[in-house]
Amino acid sequence: MARFIHKSNLDPKQKIRGYEDHTDKQGATGFFVELEDQTIFEITKLPIPDCYKVGDGYLKVPDLKTSAYLRSKGDKFKCKCRKNEDGSWTLLENIPSID
């Protein structure tokens, strides 16, 4: 479940990917702004299905949509990733839906 808080009330220790912002135009929808602390890393596909090496760890593949997206990228590619506390990596790309 998502918990919405204002960015001014955010604990400085809390890691966030970005935040929602709005224009001054009445009735306009908000848009997502990514923080710039994510870095682009080289990802290498391993011989095991859905297993990818990133830096000194492995990329998490949480669902079929992510799996299909990663398979379409080839054996070596670059994507935005973030290192998790457990040493694994999370993909930070906008993944298109699979039809």
Task: Say how many residues make up the chain.
Answer: 99
Cα distance between residue 57 and residue 42, in whole Å: 12
Residue 1 lies in a domain: no
Q: How many CA atoms lie within 13 A of 54 on its CB side?
A: 26
pLDDT tens digits, one per residue of 28-81: 887 776 666 557 899 999 999 999 999 889 999 999 999 999 999 999 999 988
pLDDT in tens, 76-97: 999 988 888 898 999 888 787 7
Count of helix runs (H) and strand runs (E) in the chain: 1, 7
pTM for the model stands at 0.60
Query: Residue 33: inside a domain, yes or no?
Result: no
pLDDT band at 6 (very low <50, low <70, confident <90, very high): confident
More confident residue, 71 or 99: 71
- The pair of structure tokens assigned to 28 is 């306009």
Cβ atoms of 37 and 83 within 8 Å: the answer is no
Q: Look at residue 21 and tell me if it is in a domain.
A: no
Domain that holds residue 80: 39-91
Q: Which of 53, 22, 21, 18 is nearest to 37 (CA)?
A: 18
Number of domains forming the structure of the chain: 1
| Position 56 in a domain | yes
